[in-house]
Structure 1
Amino acid sequence: MQKKVLIAGESWMSYTTHVKGFDSFYTSVYEEGVGPIRTAIEQAGYQVDYIPNHHAPEKFPFTMEELKEYSCVILSDIGSNTLLLAPDTFSKSIRKPNRCQLIKDYVEQGGSFLMVGGYMSFTGVDAKTRYGQTPIKDVLPVECLDIDDRAEHPEGVVPVIVKEHEAIKGLPKEWPHFLGYNKTKATAQGEVLVTIDGDPFIAVGEFGKGKSAVFTSDCAPHWGPPEFVNWEYYNELWKGILDYLTK
């Protein structure tokens, strides 16, 4: 029987104003960045359910029973407010479960969790994402900063393996470059396996009966450039992390 994985996030909408002399007009577009990581995980033998950002406020699981259908939950570029402020709570002042607390409890009861980096991961752009101020901080193998945590590297920066581990078994020493990442701090509760510019890049940890991991850059552009997405080891990277977490 296939193990099921839930991915939430990795989508966005853009609304653009075009000015042409006296006149202006507007265009809008909806885009997803989940394709590469979703394909990699499916090719590794997992069944993937995907919830884009605009559906997550209502459709991300509210109960432990729903979460336990999954062997792993992945949050990628989705802010904590999207999970905390369900429409009924924000618009109608109705109490709903704290889904950040739910993820923490899910891990401690034996589930697995992966946070992938981006402008709306960890602490995030303008410190708006703020997972370090939620219960999820207790099941992360790194510590989130209290400020905007983006480490922008337009010149490119290359990850370095610092510890052998089954989650990254078979990956080469030479990696493609990245254009940025979320800066975090190592903790005693986690193992840093790969660093980037001296900061955690891939880290893992065990919490209660479950496991969690972080990948502190994008799984796709813009921080994850085509050189990474098209890397011959891209699929193997995600397979190794998921196999370790759900073992």
Structure 2
Amino acid sequence: MIGIQPAQCAERVRILYTGEPYPGVTPYVFMKAEPLLIPTPVIASQDYLNYIFTLKEIKRSVRLYMPRSYDSLVGSYNVIILSDSNVASFTASHLKWFRESVHDDGLGLAMVGGHETFGTLGSHADWGQTPVGEVLPVETLVGRIGGGRVTILGEDNVFIDSIPWRSNLPFLQLYYCNIVLPKEGSDTLAIDMIQTGDNQGWENPFFSTWVHGKGRTFAFTGDWQFGWGAEFIRWEYAPDFAINLMLYLAGRKLPEDLDLVHTLRSRLATLSYRRSIMESMIAFVEKFGANPRVINEATAEVDDAGNRAIDLYLEVEFVEALSAVNEALNLMDRAEEVADRVKGNALIWIYITEWLVTTATVMFCGFVLWTLMVRRRLYSEVSTTRLGRYGNR
């Protein structure tokens, strides 16, 4: 599994993404839009977004989406992600399977921080005391976090070299992380010079990796989404970081022309998002009785070009794929114009109905007002009141 796969390999990397894949903007969103990856989300974080998920919901997610057997795990996935995943979310069998899948069957594993991973803040179980701790490239420490300036070290590492790092990136200036110790034989690819708390001056492993048995593991002691990673997730190359990390852990060849691939990935993601919005538009116009046939015909052309771009991307024909995705985006522009016209035609009857109802209401009220106040049709003549008769004497 660690050996680099042939460049012309269209097999997708299958990912078991546990922890906090959603809601919000997370690396899972980037992976879901990436043709090379097939992520499966499993909620396993108990503290995410101020306990948005109950323990019952977490247990249900694990029960429904976690593999039911070890053979199912190694047969269905290439990489396991523990992104602020809580030890208590998993069974003892799951923890054992994670270790064995890396050591014996060559799966990749990434642990990404937050205070529910590594040693945690002390309110949750320490991952280092589980079977997973054996395959991590770092030793965990309970209840110790800190923040400092991050320095990238491993420029000769193929994964680190695949990302355009700059020392002035905002998230590198102060990044909080779990305090850990490097294990002998591990490669520290970045350090966080701790400037806060009792650990000031400690060069903390920030990115670490090693090969354990047949598989590779990666430790990211900071977080990669909102919280400690709020600046990181806004970074232009955060999607490339997450995608390339999955390819690296799966033993796949990383793209060499990052600028080209970054542009291609961005446009494929844009196409995917716009296509999902188009589906919502089609459902909207159908609710108002409009015929979406012309929209479906326009989007079919988009899908043909988009699928051709994805096929070329999977075949590592990046230049041709970029041309195809640009064609798909141009076709999407026209499809959106068609959808706007159909939506306008569907809504015109609503506007006409509203206008007729409003006009009829105004005319009726005007007629009633004219009848009562001008014609006085409901008034009748009465005799002079007693007060009037006696008042004239």
TM range (shorter): 0.7 to 0.9
Taking a change above 3 Å as real, the CA distance of residues 187 and 134 of structure 1, as seen in their structure-2 partners, is same
The structural deviation recorded for 1:235 is: 1.3
The question of 1:48 aligning with 2:42 is answered no
Taking a change above 3 Å as real, the CA distance of residues 38 and 124 of structure 1, as seen in their structure-2 partners, is same
Aligned to 1:98: 93
The separation in 1 between residues aligned to 2:164 and 2:139, in whole angstroms, is 25
Aligned Cα root-mean-square deviation (Å): 1.9
State the structure with bigger RCO (CA 8 A, min sep 6), 1 or 2. Answer: 1
Aligned to 2:7: none
The separation in 1 between residues aligned to 2:32 and 2:164, in whole angstroms, is 19
Unaligned stretches of 5+ residues in structure 1: 12-30, 85-96
**Match for 1:63: what amino acid?**
S
The question of 1:173 aligning with 2:166 is answered yes
Aligned to 2:82: 75
The separation in 1 between residues aligned to 2:244 and 2:149, in whole angstroms, is 20
The structural deviation recorded for 1:158 is: 3.1
The question of 1:38 aligning with 2:28 is answered yes
- When Rg is computed on C-alpha atoms for both structures, the one with the higher figure is 2
**What CA deviation, in whole Å up to 9, does each residue of 1:64-118 have, x standing for no partner?**
222111110101111112113xxxxxxxxxxxx5211110000012111001101
The separation in 2 between residues aligned to 1:193 and 1:82, in whole angstroms, is 30
Unaligned stretches of 5+ residues in structure 2: 1-10, 45-57, 194-202, 252-393
Q: Is the 8 A contact 1:122 1:129 kept in 2?
A: no
The separation in 1 between residues aligned to 2:126 and 2:61, in whole angstroms, is 17
The separation in 1 between residues aligned to 2:164 and 2:192, in whole angstroms, is 16
Aligned to 1:17: none
Pick the structure with more strand per residue: 1
The separation in 2 between residues aligned to 1:194 and 1:62, in whole angstroms, is 36
The question of 1:2 aligning with 2:12 is answered yes
Moved over 4 A (4+): none
Aligned to 1:130: 126
Q: Is the 8 A contact 1:5 1:71 kept in 2?
A: yes
Residue of structure 2 aligned with 1:66, choices 52, 59, 72: 72
The structural deviation recorded for 1:150 is: 2.2
SS at 2:26 equivalent: helix
% identical equivalent positions: 24
Pick the structure with more helix per residue: 2
Aligned to 2:150: 159
Taking a change above 3 Å as real, the CA distance of residues 39 and 49 of structure 1, as seen in their structure-2 partners, is same
SS at 1:183 equivalent: strand
Q: Is the 8 A contact 2:27 2:224 kept in 1?
A: yes
The question of 1:214 aligning with 2:219 is answered yes
**Match for 2:63: what amino acid?**
E
**What CA deviation, in whole Å up to 9, does each residue of 1:36-81 have, x standing for no partner?**
2012223442011101121354242342222111110101111112
**Match for 1:75: what amino acid?**
L
- TM-score, structure 2 as length reference: 0.50
The separation in 1 between residues aligned to 2:190 and 2:166, in whole angstroms, is 10
The separation in 1 between residues aligned to 2:62 and 2:214, in whole angstroms, is 27
